[in-house]
Amino acid sequence: MLVLGGGSWGTTVAHLAAHNCRTTVWARDAATVTDINTVHRNRRYLADYELHPELRATGDLEAAVAATDLLVMGVPTGAFRQTCEAIASSLRPWVPVVSLAKGFEPETMLRMTQIVEEVLPGRPVGVLSGPNLAKEIMAGHPAGAVVAVSEEHIAERLQPVFSTPTFRVFIHHDVVGCELGGALKNVYAIAAGAVEGRGLGDNARAAIITRGLAELIELGAKMGGEALTLAGLAGMGDLLATCMSPQSRNSSVGRALGAGRSIDEILADLDQVAEGVKAARVVKELADRHEVFMPIAAQVHAICWEGQDPDFAQESLLRGRLGHE
């Protein structure tokens, strides 16, 4: 198996898989490759955690892709299409492709599996998603996820690849719903973080998370996902973990916004991508296209892209139109 991407989550998934099969990580950073191969650590992103001793890393993209029988895409959404294009001539036709990325391509508003189907056609494609904070999983804390592939027999074959005694993987058929849950929840993590950063209390944060889930489910269902999927691990589960954890990059962005920092200075300080900022623009356009009322997502867009003051509790929760929950 090959994981493309040497960030915290790509490395964590590779570490999990190394318990079950021969696994390689491809990373752009030569220092990360050396670290994994020599000291069994990713000192840039996961310095405190020892990786599986059989996990290997490489910087040779074409050779690694040509040799793999399972490809996992762990690169950020901004590099996703470019990476797919770079490997198109090396990847064998029958090799399954599993996406870890949670977001949209801003220019096309496509999900990552749609990009795979466009650039790498004729291959099984799926997604691994859920409430999965990398450092907790590396610490051996229990967690669950879903691997979603439309062909159930392929999902069943992939399930044991990622499962360990502390990381339980369920199979799912609803690729669209699982992928949308992971992409949309980042927007609401920014909202929940902003409420926390302004010191508005747990009641307000709980209301934002809950109403955010309602928005997420309504848009996800309009786009072809199943409501029950979005109420499961890949939807509500991922939403809760991302909104509540201090490890969440998107929640951290929200807290900083709530504390009065500008989006530009917040993003300049990040060493990894906060997908919710880019997703906010896409979600606003998708909500307009599908005629879904999404006041919380609209407010996230307004403060990230229009400079609006981040007072979610008043603007999104208290001043929205009145009606049935």
Looking at residue 307, what is its pLDDT?
86
Q: How do residues 110-142 score in pLDDT, each as one tens digit?
A: 999 999 999 999 999 999 999 999 999 999 999
Amino acid at 289: R
Rounded-to-integer distance, Cα 323 and Cα 159, Å: 43
Single out the residue of 61, 51, 118 nearest to residue 90, CA to CA.
61
Task: Spell out the CATH class of 177-318.
Answer: mainly alpha
pTM of the model: 0.93
Average pLDDT of span 223-243: 97
Of 82-96, 148-162, 265-279, the least confident: 265-279
Q: Where are the domains of the chain?
A: 2-173, 177-318
- 3 state SS of 37: helix
Looking at residue 149, what is its pLDDT?
96
Looking at residue 133, what is its pLDDT?
96
Q: How do residues 61-83 score in pLDDT, each as one tens digit?
A: 999 999 999 999 999 999 999 99
Rounded-to-integer distance, Cα 245 and Cα 249, Å: 9
Q: pLDDT at residue 308 above 90?
A: no
What CATH topology corresponds to 2-173? Rossmann fold (3.40.50)
Whole-number percent of the chain with pLDDT over 70: 96
Catalytic residues: 185
- 3 state SS of 25: strand
